[in-house]
Amino acid sequence: MRTFMHGAAVWGVACPQRPSRVAGLTMAGFSVRDLDALRMVPHPAVTLLLEFGAGSPVLDCAAGRQQRGSIVAGPGPGLGAGGAVRAWGENVECVQVRLSPVIARTVLGASSADFDGAVSLDDLWGRAASRIREQLSDATSWQDRFALTDAMLARRHEAGPPADPEVAWAWHRIVDSRGLVRVDGLAAEVGWSRKRLWSRFRSQLGLPPKRAVKLVRFDHAAHRLVAGEGAAQVAADAGYADQSHLHRDVTAFTGATPATVAGEPFLAVGPIAWPSRGTIARPHVSRDLRLDPGRR
């Protein structure tokens, strides 16, 4: 376990020694004695937070709503916007899983389009959520916890319905372009009507294509800001019209300015917890989607 220090806060951070058996799934472990109002930053993955320690994390959501314990949050909106969602707690221990939206519905048994923002895992999985918490508590090492979590999620992934290949292809085009793809051309690329792709994309991945483009572009820009690059250069390279455009997007997503967002703990811990930037790792998708005309 490595140590991440941010001001007076000290976090223990653990990473798996082996990659997940499920493409598009990454995880990290966190142990935080005093988690003080951590501003959550939206990112292009579905977050599964599995807590098991003596304490319990609390997520302050919009309109005064709170979620406690293990939670699931959709891409972008699930972790809020404008800095509206904060996490806090004492003696927090958890495994945080990031799921590519392409596999999230398969693993979770529900699309993030089916719930509003962040939801309790107890509400989604029932008694299964309590069992995984007990198993994580009984495990004696972080590597055992990662192995246990990965095995459980792999079983769910094998049993669940996959996303449409056309939807997966559109998502990966957005990711591979770092949010610079023209969304109006995605439907033509997969051979579907625009209406059909937009409807399936949102219902299966939890957000519309235009929001996905904006979120992926922001995520790329935010991590470059964390790496110490200047806002003007990031804006130019990331496809923003100008620095003011970058400023507006960063503020809309985080409630912070580009000059200050680089210091946000949620982002600053990334190089330790997610060294491979695994938030949007991709499963295999066939390049040729037009071999089966019955799918149109």
Please state the pTM of the whole predicted model: 0.90
Residue with tokens 């037009």: 290
In 52-192, DSSP assigns E strands to 58-60, 66-68, 71-73, 86-99, 118-120
CA dist 29 and 49 (Å) reads 10
Residue pair 208/202 in contact by the 8 Å Cβ criterion: yes
Mean pLDDT by 10 residues, the chain (296 residues): 84 95 96 88 93 88 82 79 84 95 94 84 94 96 98 96 95 95 90 94 93 95 93 95 95 91 89 73 50 42
Check residue 273 and give its pLDDT. 94
Give the burial string for 243-257 (b: 16+ CB within 10 Å, else e).
beebbebbbebbbbe
Q: How many helices (H) and strands (E) does the chain have?
A: 13, 9
Domains of the chain plus CATH, in order, are: 2-159 (2.60.120.10), 165-280 (1.10.10.60)
Instruction: Please tell me whether residue 34 adopts helix, strand or coil conformation.
Output: strand
Check residue 292 and give its pLDDT. 44
- The identity of residue 44, as a single letter, is P
